[in-house]
Amino acid sequence: MATVGNSTNIFWHQCAVGNVDKQKLLNQKGCLVWITGLSGSGKSTLACTLGRELHSRGKLSYVLDGDNLRHGLNKNLGFSAEDRAENIRRVGEVGKLFADAGLICIASLISPYRKDRDACRAMLPDGTANSLIYLQVFMNTPLEVCEERDAKGLYKLARAGKIKGFTGIDDPYEPPLNCEIELKPVDGICSTPIGMAGQVVSYLGEKGFLHYE
Ligand SMILES: Nc1ncnc2c1ncn2[C@@H]1O[C@H](COP(=O)(O)OS(=O)(=O)O)[C@@H](OP(=O)(O)O)[C@H]1O
Ligand SMILES: Nc1ncnc2c1ncn2[C@@H]1O[C@H](COP(=O)(O)OP(=O)(O)O)[C@@H](O)[C@H]1O
């Protein structure tokens, strides 16, 4: 019997089929690939391209996109630091469930605060002994490039003061200190989405996530 948060007198029910069985079934290892970066840095594009690349290799993945989840699961949250923290916490918990189901879960959220991202990392075990793992990908696209792209016109609105608390303009973004993969332009040129997804696929392959033995 346990007390967790505001839940008292609760019990953990163990199921017979565990995450190792599911990973064996799928011949892959469950994990949470967490993509962080500014709005317009290319997170969603990378997430979807990575999902497609994995699918073409017969690997099951699922994309949790911040913008999309705010249409449902997280529609009661805004962009205050507290709401962003709750947004990241919920997506971390959902990502953990997908990873537990044996999937390569790909989360793409701005997730501007280091402590919120680190809290998600801490939710998943450290990857030893076939356990689940959290891998952080930093889309280190400079603000000038994101603002120049301005695919949704939000930077223009933020600069005009019509959106308050916009990340990178009048709200903070804390770059990761401990990411597994950093993707940034070389000599001012961004790699293609397929090139970036290829880097992540290679990393997953090298670390043994694309098969189970
Ligand atoms: N104030 C403010 N700051 C940043 N972004 C804003 C804001 N208001 C709306 N948007 C839109 O919301 C998308 C980011 O949602 P996230 O859930 O990823 O944000 S966070 O992780 O909780 O910070 C973000 O999507 P992306 O551009 O895909 O990052 C924007 O479309
Ligand atoms: N690697 C890339 N090179 C050039 N443009 C890109 C790249 N990745 C994404 N884009 C473009 O940048 C814009 C923002 O991409 P998006 O994936 O929506 O970013 P985010 O999810 O971080 O807001 C889109 O117009 C997209 O086509």
* pLDDT for 127: 67
**C-alpha 110 to ligand 1 mean position (Å):** 6
Q: What is the DSSP letter of 7?
A: E
The residues that bridge with 61 in the sheet, in sequence order, are: 104
The residues that bridge with 90 in the sheet, in sequence order, are: none
At 87, give phi and psi (nearest 5°). Answer: -55, -50
14-67: per-residue pLDDT in tens? 999 999 999 999 999 999 999 999 999 999 999 999 999 999 999 999 999 999
**Closest CA to ligand 2's atom 24:** 151
Long-range Cβ contact pairs of 117-121 (< 8 A, separation 24 or more): 117/34, 117/36, 117/88, 117/176, 118/178, 119/88, 119/89, 119/92, 120/32, 120/34, 120/88, 120/89, 120/91, 120/92, 120/95, 121/34, 121/178
**C-alpha 187 to ligand 1 mean position (Å):** 28
**Closest CA to ligand 1's atom 28:** 39
98-144: per-residue pLDDT in tens? 999 999 999 999 999 999 999 999 999 776 665 669 999 999 999 99
Q: Which residues line ligand 1 (CB under 6 A)?
A: 39-40, 43-44, 66-67, 70, 79, 84, 87-88, 109-112, 152, 154, 163, 165-167, 171
- Return the number of other C-beta atoms located less than 10 Å from residue 51's C-beta: 19
111 is known as an active-site residue: yes
Ligand nearest to the CA of 78: 1
Catalytic residue among 7, 39, 111, 131: 111
> Which amino acid does the sequence have at 199?
Q
Contact of 63 with 47, CB cutoff 8 Å:
yes
Residues contacting 175, CB < 8 A, separation 6+: 138, 140
* pLDDT for 75: 98
Burial class of residue 19 in the structure, from the number of CB atoms within 10 Å of its CB (0-12 exposed, 13-18 middle, 19+ buried): middle
**C-alpha 152 to ligand 2 mean position (Å):** 11
- Return the number of other C-beta atoms located less than 10 Å from residue 90's C-beta: 15
* pLDDT for 32: 97
* pLDDT for 121: 95
* pLDDT for 165: 98
Contact of 41 with 141, CB cutoff 8 Å:
yes
Tell me whether 0.95 is exceeded by the ipTM. Answer: yes
For the ranges 75-84, 119-128, 140-149, 163-172, the lowest mean pLDDT is seen at 119-128
pTM: 0.97
pLDDT at 86 over 60: yes
**C-alpha 160 to ligand 2 mean position (Å):** 22
Percent of the chain at pLDDT > 70 equals 97
For the ranges 7-11, 79-83, 85-89, 104-108, the lowest mean pLDDT is seen at 7-11
Residue tagged 């939710």 (tokens):
123
* pLDDT for 125: 79
Contact of 155 with 40, CB cutoff 8 Å:
yes
* pLDDT for 179: 94
* pLDDT for 156: 98
